């Protein structure tokens, strides 16, 4: 979950960055209803242009309209955040018990929950970095390529530093999850259909944390966290069903864990819940669209059920 911590830290900085997003007017296709919901999905920070039946802007690597003062300013913000993360991790993870670089296989740890956290943290980093590039008027494709490379590079740096820790080491599983998470964010740009499948996160403090029994913080309070994969049903259902399905309502499958022992033991829980599609909020303009795309990484409390290992219904499932 180290990368999730880093990703969420950068995510908290991202409201200070906003980028260009526009909307295309309504139109009709030759085969009847046009699924505008997919077309209007704005990828991370700018409108996804590589969508069905939409004009595509030519990628020009020589374009010179970059806002360099803003670009340098955002670079300073990211550098400062990176230094802050380094100092925090040096004092909490890397300061003591340094040893020779080594690998450590930790696949069983946290019932794979931490690997999902690394995956999700990578998507947050790509989103945050691309916001800065697009705010500085980089073309969307440039922003996505550079942001993906930066996210992977930063995560790899963290893993290499971990490799010198006596109590952990370089985790191949974490590195794979990091790369897949950043790669999925980039794949959503090149393959717009993937934008119908969004990874999200929710958190409510666990009883252990509220009672003072958990000695860590919210970032390693696994019992209070859930990771979700949401499905944009308006675009996925057959046309006759999609006509009556509310555009603001998605379905989500979630995973949580309880009573982890750090050795592969614990309880894995699987949930199915409704999900609020924040992209349907009536917010427009640079900042409005950025807010929607940022909130789209959060699963808000909605009715749902636990389906494993036992069943339960929740009016508000966090």
176, 107 Cβ separation under 8 angstroms: no
Per-residue model confidence (pLDDT) at position 63:
52
Per-residue model confidence (pLDDT) at position 197:
98
Which mean pLDDT values do the consecutive 10-residue runs of the chain (318 residues) have?
A: 47 38 31 37 40 40 74 92 86 80 86 94 96 92 96 94 87 95 97 97 92 82 95 96 96 95 88 97 88 96 97 95
Per-residue model confidence (pLDDT) at position 166:
81
Number of domains the chain is built from: 1
Per-residue model confidence (pLDDT) at position 15:
37
φ and ψ at residue 129, rounded to 5 degrees? -65, -45
CB atoms within 10 A of CB 211: 9
Please state, in angstroms and rounded to a whole number, the distance separating the CA atoms of residues 94 and 101.
12
Q: What is the DSSP string of 203-253?
A: E---HHHHTT---S-GGG-GGGEEEEEEE-HHHHS-HHHHTTS-TTEEEEE
**How much is the pTM?**
0.80
Per-residue model confidence (pLDDT) at position 11:
44
Per-residue model confidence (pLDDT) at position 64:
54
All residues at 6 or more sequence positions from 88 whose CB lies less than 8 Å from its CB, including other chains = none
DSSP state for residue 171 in the 8-state scheme = -
Please state, in angstroms and rounded to a whole number, the distance separating the CA atoms of residues 240 and 293.
28
Per-residue model confidence (pLDDT) at position 307:
97
Domain that holds residue 250: 2-317
């Amino acid at each position: 979950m180290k990368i999730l911590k880093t990703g969420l830290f950068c995510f908290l900085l991202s409201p200070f960055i906003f980028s260009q997003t526009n909307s295309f007017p309504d139109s009709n296709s030759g085969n009847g209803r046009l699924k505008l919901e997919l077309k209007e999905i704005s990828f991370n920070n700018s409108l996804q242009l590589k969508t069905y039946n939409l004009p595509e802007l030519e990628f020009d690597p020589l374009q010179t309209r970059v806002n360099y003062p803003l670009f340098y300013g955002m670079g300073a913000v990211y550098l400062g955040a990176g230094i802050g993360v380094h100092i925090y991790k040096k004092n909490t993870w890397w300061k003591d018990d340094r040893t020779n670089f080594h690998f450590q296989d930790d696949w069983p740890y946290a019932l794979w929950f931490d690997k999902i956290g690394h995956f999700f943290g990578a998507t947050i980093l790509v989103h945050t970095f691309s916001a800065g590039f697009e705010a500085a008027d980089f073309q969307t494709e440039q922003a996505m390529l550079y942001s993906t490379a930066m996210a992977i590079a930063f995560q790899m740096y963290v893993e290499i530093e971990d490799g010198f820790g006596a109590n952990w080491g370089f985790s191949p599983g974490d590195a794979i999850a990091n790369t897949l998470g950043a790669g999925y964010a980039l794949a959503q740009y090149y393959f717009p259909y993937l934008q119908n499948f969004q990874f999200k996160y929710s958190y409510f403090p666990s009883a252990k944390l509220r009672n003072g029994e958990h000695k860590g913080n919210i970032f390693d309070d696994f019992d209070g966290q859930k990771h979700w994969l949401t499905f944009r049903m308006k675009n996925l259902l057959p046309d006759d069903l999609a006509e009556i399905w509310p555009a603001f309502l998605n379905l989500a499958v979630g995973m949580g864990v309880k009573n982890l022992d750090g050795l592969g033991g614990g309880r894995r829980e699987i949930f199915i819940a409704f999900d609020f599609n924040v992209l349907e909020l009536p917010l427009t303009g640079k900042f409005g669209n950025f807010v929607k795309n940022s909130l789209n990484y959060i699963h808000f409390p909605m009715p749902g059920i636990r389906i494993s290992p036992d069943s339960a219904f929740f009016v508000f499932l966090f």
